[in-house]
A and B are shown apart, each in its own frame.
Chain A
Amino acid sequence: MMRLTLCALAALAATALAAAPTVAQDKVKIGYAISKTGPNAGGATITQIPNYEMWVKDVNAKGGLMIGGKRVPIEVIEYDDRSNSEEAVRAVERLVTQDKVDLLFPPWGTGLNLAVGPVFNKYGYPQLAFSAVTDRAPDLVKRWPNSFWLLGTSTQYVDSLVGLLKKLRDEGKIGPNIAMISIADGFGIDLSQAARKGFTAAGFKLAYDKSYPIGTQDLSPLIGEASRSGADTFVAFSYPPDTMALTEQSKVASYAPKVMFLGVGVGFPMYAQRFGANVEGIMSLGGWSKDNASTLAYAKKHEEMFKRGPDRWGSQIGYSSLQMLEQAIEKVGKIDRAAIIKELQTGTFDTVLGKVKMVDNMMKDNFWLIGQWQDGFFVGVAPQRAGVGSVVVPKPAWKP
């Protein structure tokens, strides 16, 4: 009996949650489940959620998306996936089958984007993931042709970094030894693994190579050992909290290698605020164009709306992905998801990053992979494309 009740209750709940009626296209329903709580919340609130809110506001200010000759406003349905894969899968299923959304936005991070991948694919929704870095991206595109992996692969970042360091070494600006530390989590392991191969192949020697557990607060022993290793290039594939700690503790220890490359967080607006002039010369992933009026305008608008600037790595790519979606929908002229996916795969789009055309569902040379703080601006220094800044070496000494 009790089990029947269970069954009935589940059915009841399913129907109760399916209350929203659908009316013929007088609005476009867009849904997303994102980590508002849990360990992913930090990244999601800095890089992802502001872009969603800003884009929806921008489009609705125009009256909505141009579909079939008239403007159709956007309605948003949002859920919290609590940084949990199972919740994310269920929330996306709820958005598709209960809320019957027209389009979906992706969740934050590699893990959750992969978790919801099969659901996006099953129902044929375009998935424009811009907060996932995975070397499996080309395989994933074959498996899920509706998925787009805009932030690139770890190999791309490492190749750029290696190329940059090789040039500096050949110019005699740095020595052949590198000290590398990495966080023992997806990002740090992927990148350090690719870097280990790349550095060795380019003739560098890893004088120091250690990983540290997630949540490590005292990094000064690692800094000390890296300093004593004799390497004048320091590379850390770190997460925001350790990026902050590394900067602070290197300053205290007066550890000033010629090249200082740190991980996620260097591009965050709070990084420059907290360390002021001391960010000078520090390198990281991402980068910003000095002469691109549209990214500058985007940053300004972001600051006005949220009282803080965008992340200098993923944010611009995120906003561009939404612009691409917008233009693909308007070109197709109706909510025909298969046609929208096709348009995203083949079309050329006008975004804050400039003209973008995807190759195998990924961006090619549309954004900076490596950046460096120069005169208070996080300048893109690799890959070699229009507007590239030249690297400043050695990093200036710490100021008190």
Chain B
Amino acid sequence: MMTQDALRVLGVAAAIAGLACVPFLLGDYGLSLAINIVSYTVLATAWSLFSGPTRYVSLATVAFFGIGAYTTAVFAETLAWPLVLLIAAGIGILVAGIVGLSTLRLSGVYFVIFTLGLAELVRQLVTWYEVNKTRTLGRYVFTDITAAQIYWQLLILAVLVFAAGFLIGRSRLGLALRAIGDDETVARHSGIDATQAKVALFVLSTVFMTLTGAIMAPRWTYIDPAIAFNPVISFTVLIMALLGGVHRLYGPVMGVVPLALLFEFLLARFPNHFSIMVGLVFILIVYAIPRGIVGLVEQTVRRPA
């Protein structure tokens, strides 16, 4: 038993070390593909950290991603980098706390609509502030952070999000959340403080999203609200997580990798038909694999037995 655990730890460590070598092995294009995959891995895993067990479908991913990106745009040229990340995380926690406390009593479709609106609300607030207070829209981010450094930071973040997911899955909080996901009323009657549990997890999940935005921003040189709060990011994360499967910690990444590579292939080969192809793929996913890749694999493995 001990040796098996030790082997597992060793395996994970070796995998992380291997992934850390990616910038040395792949060229610039390979690296930017890797950055894309790792950033969506963090976003999708963080998304399912909250939405998986509670079954609250959130479209607010980009609200937090954008907050992170904007924090970098405002502070990157004047403050030390770790401080920028710390401020980003702080703002993310604050916003998530306020939003969580005021809205997690909503459920079902009301919550979905609210989160979609939240991203737009944050974007309009930032726009309003920039237009009326700073009188500039669009900020320049000139830093010396290289693509490899962005990749490594994202990789660390990915390790952290998996570690967080692993620990929560084995804690009282994780159990409480699964109970809420199955039946919130029953969970409340069993003495679970549902609101507190949901808010705690919501905050944790969004901190990872905020940090992803903050880390990614130096890649773009220029940021405006349309770039930072692009709603497509929220939908992409949702679809990737659903394709992978949200009831396992490693589920979302199973959706991120094939979809990221598929998008890349379609963009390269069918630049004029991209949207049509993506639409067809989505229809196919929903009809053919409604329980995600993980669900499909588990089903196939179980069948012969």
CB distance A14 to B27 under 8 Å? yes
Interface contact B136-A3, CB-CB below 8 Å: no
Residues of B within 8 A of A323 (CB): none
Which residues of chain A have C-beta atoms less than 8 A from B15's C-beta? 1-4
Expressed in whole angstroms, the minimum distance between the Cβ of B154 and any Cβ of chain A is 13
Q: Would you list which residues of chain B between 123 and 139 have a CB under 8 Å from chain A?
A: 124, 127-128, 130-132, 135-138
CB distance from B227 to the nearest CB of A (A): 5
Bound: A115/B217 CA distance, A: 10
User: Which partner residue on chain B sits nearest A185 by CB separation?
Assistant: B137
**CB-based contact A13/B131 at 8 Å:** no
Query: Of B33, B136, B219, B268, which one neighbours A10 at CB under 8 angstroms?
Result: B33
Q: Which of B163-171, B173-181, B257-265 contacts A (4 or more CB under 8 A)?
A: B257-265
B interface: dominant SS: helix
Known contacts A2-B250, A6-B253, A186-B224, A98 near B138 by CB under 8 Å: no
Tell me whether A78 and B271 are in contact (CB under 8 A): yes
- Set of chain A residues within 8 Å of B254, measured between Cβ atoms: 2
Given contacts A6-B37, A82-B274, A84-B230, contact A11 B267 (CB under 8 A): no
Q: How far is the CA of A117 from the CA of B265 in the complex (A)?
A: 24
Is A90 interfacial (CB 8 A cutoff)? yes
Interface residues of chain A: helix, strand, loop or mixed (majority) = helix
Query: How far does the Cβ of A309 sit from chain B's closest Cβ, in whole Å?
Result: 24
Interface size class of B (residues with CB under 8 A): 35 or more
Knowing A3-B16, A14-B26, the reply to whether A184 touches B250 (Cβ < 8 A) is: no
Q: Is A9 on the interface with B (CB-CB < 8 A)?
A: yes
Any A CB within 8 A of the CB of B11: yes
Report A1-48 residues with CB < 8 Å from chain B CB: 1-7, 9-11, 13-14, 17-18, 36-39
Query: Complex formed: what's the CA distance from A126 to B25 in Å?
Result: 28
Chain A positions within 8 Å of B267 at CB level: 79-80, 82, 87, 91
Check B195 for interface membership: any CB of A closer than 8 A.
Answer: no
Q: How far is the CA of A38 from the CA of B227 in the complex (A)?
A: 11
B23 CB → nearest A CB, Å: 12
- Chain A residues whose C-beta falls within 8 Å of the C-beta of B138 in the assembled complex: 110-111, 186
User: CB of B29 within 8 A of chain A?
Assistant: yes
B156 contacts the other chain (CB 8 A): no
Among candidates A6, A184, A185, residue contacting B19 with C-beta atoms closer than 8 Å = A6
Q: List 12 A-B contacts (CB under 8 A).
A: A1-B11, A3-B12, A13-B261, A14-B27, A80-B271, A82-B274, A86-B219, A90-B32, A97-B27, A111-B138, A111-B224, A115-B219
Measuring CB to CB, which residues of chain A are less than 8 angstroms from any residue of chain B?
1-7, 9-11, 13-14, 17-18, 36-39, 78-80, 82, 84-87, 89-91, 93-94, 96-98, 110-111, 114-115, 117-118, 136, 143, 184-186, 189-190, 193, 211, 213
Instruction: Beyond A9-B261, A10-B34, A13-B264, list 9 extra A-B contacts (CB 8 Å).
Output: A11-B25, A11-B30, A38-B232, A82-B274, A87-B267, A97-B27, A110-B222, A185-B127, A193-B136
